[in-house]
Amino acid sequence: MARLLFGLGVAAVIFTIYAVADCAFFDRTRIRGLRRGWWIVVILFVPIIGALLWFIIGRGRANRVGSGRGRTMAPDDDAEFLRQLRDDAAQDERIRRLEQELADLDADDPANPPKPGRTQGRAAGEGSTDGFESGGGDTLGTERKRPDAPDAPGEAGPSGRPNG
């Protein structure tokens, strides 16, 4: 019998703590009957009954979306929906234009695109494999200088140590 009473006491304390936390964090506009502070006082001083009253009376129902309107609106009649569609289309167009500009900037010579099997003006398999050259040039004028390479061997690079 003592175990049962102890278990019921623990359940009552947990239920009361849950009711107080629910009341404290519940949306103020949906609380009915009393103000939030008074509901917490009722829940704490009348533990089981106060918590039950909170869940039955004090806790208001959620407002239903669209309950104020008598009917639903079709998407093609909803101005907000149509505006959002136009904004999405404009955003997609801006993204497409920016991607095209980036592709144009990435191409070395838009009028003369690189041939398949050639990389950076060299035949496949020749020279550097990382896409950079450490100096010199090629016949197409498309040399790309390695960003950390000095102009001539023996000069200090960005780290201050001489290369070469």
In angstroms, the CA 105 to CA 92 distance is 20
Q: What is the pLDDT of residue 45?
A: 93
Q: Name the DSSP letter for residue 145.
A: B
Q: What is the pLDDT of residue 122?
A: 47
Rounded to 5°, angle at Cα 112 from 106 and 113: 50
pLDDT tens per residue across span 16-57 = 999 999 999 988 888 888 899 999 999 999 989 999 999 999
Considering the entire predicted model, what is its pTM? 0.39
In angstroms, the CA 111 to CA 70 distance is 62
Q: What is the pLDDT of residue 124?
A: 46
In angstroms, the CA 126 to CA 119 distance is 9
Low-confidence ranges of the chain (pLDDT < 70): 62-71, 108-164
Pairing of strands 122-123, 118-119: antiparallel
pLDDT tens per residue across span 26-35 = 888 888 888 9
